[in-house]
Amino acid sequence: MDFDGLVRDFPDLTTTGLEQGAIYALVALGYTLVYGVLRLINFAHSEVFMIGTVAALGTWQAMGYNQDSSVSGIGLILLLVLAGLAAAVVASTLTAVAVERVAYRPLRRRNAPPLAFLITAIGASFVLFEAVGLFSDNIGIGGERGPFGMVRPFQPATLFSIGGWDITNTQVLVVFSALGMLVALDLFVNRSRLGRGIRAVAQDPDTAALMGVNKDRVILLVFVIGGIMAGAAALLWNVTYAFSRFDVGFLIGLKAFSAAVLGGIGNLRGALLGGLLLGVVENYASGLFGGEWKDFTGFVVLIVLLMFRPTGLLGESLGRARA
């Protein structure tokens, strides 16, 4: 164990962990929304995120920018970021809606057992990432299914320093984007009419239907919101790490789901808390034990916490969220 390295690199490990955790949190919001309404673990959500990263990459390549391109000028940077965001959000949202319509809605109408939903979710996940893998093989991107390098809209640079903490532009963008989107989503769910419909269906779908709430529309809305969050996370991933791959969503999805469980599955604020905490703990572990222990430690922390608090850190379900 390298305690000296942990202390020396503590500021960098913390800021990098918050940056990674913010991406986990945005993806986790999709898991927690779907679970809160349907009591379904949507394992295909990781591929919704992956398709967003690939869509942004394809948009930038169509604009003539690849991993060897250099970008300068605030106007061009904004154009690339906004174009990538639009492509990622649209692609992820359409994928999420397609999964709901094709995979889950027929099962709901047949009153299928929970196990059928679980198997379908896993199958949909494999179908999506194998489809992208085959597509990348056929068009020759990346070779052997990736990784796909891409242009960086802007290079990481230190914005300001606090003591020994150097804060970069990408870290500020990622963390404050995640916080802003969570606040917007929390206000939407708790203050808007559509949000009340989401909470009603999450609490008691049959009673909500008797009160005039269209359950199918609410479920579709939940998948749309989850797709938007995943698309935004995909853009932030591309800006931060500048690569994608057909299975890039697999580990991110596992960690995002772990973050949702850690904070309290079905709890929007818990998803953010769980994501940030998981990202920070992973980075501290890599500084203390070495990079190879990073993923291992995050899941161990999740298991230990659930042994003592099975409902997660916050534990409040979406259906009981206060107006």
State the pLDDT at residue 75. Answer: 82
> Tell me, what amino acid is at 216?
D
State the pLDDT at residue 51. Answer: 95
State the pLDDT at residue 61. Answer: 86
Residue 148 lies in a domain: no
State the pLDDT at residue 201. Answer: 92
- Say how far apart CA 229 and CA 246 lie, in whole Å: 19
Phi/psi at 155 (nearest 5 deg)? -80, 145
Residue 175 lies in a domain: yes
Tokens of 316: 């409040």
- Say how far apart CA 240 and CA 238 lie, in whole Å: 5
DSSP 8-state class, residue 112: -
Domain hosting 84: range is 3-137+170-308
- Alpha-carbon distance values, 56 to 70, 78, 97, 287 (Å): 17, 14, 19, 32
State the pLDDT at residue 319. Answer: 55
- Alpha-carbon distance values, 90 to 75, 85, 176 (Å): 22, 8, 22
State whether residue 128 is helix, strand or coil.
Answer: helix
State the pLDDT at residue 323. Answer: 37
State the pLDDT at residue 143. Answer: 52
CATH for 94? 1.10.3470
Residue 316 lies in a domain: no
Residue 163 lies in a domain: no
In the block, residue with structure tokens 């963390």: 175
End-to-end CA distance of the chain: 47
Residue 183 lies in a domain: yes
Considering its fold, how many domains does the chain have in total? 1
Nearest alpha-carbon partner for 20 in 309, 305, 316, 298: 298
Strands 165-168 and 158-162: antiparallel
Q: Is the peptide bond before 153 cis (omega within 30 degrees of 0)?
A: no
Q: pLDDT means per 10 residues in the chain (323 residues)? A: 78 91 95 91 94 92 83 82 93 96 94 92 93 71 65 84 84 94 94 92 89 92 96 94 88 92 90 93 88 84 86 72 42
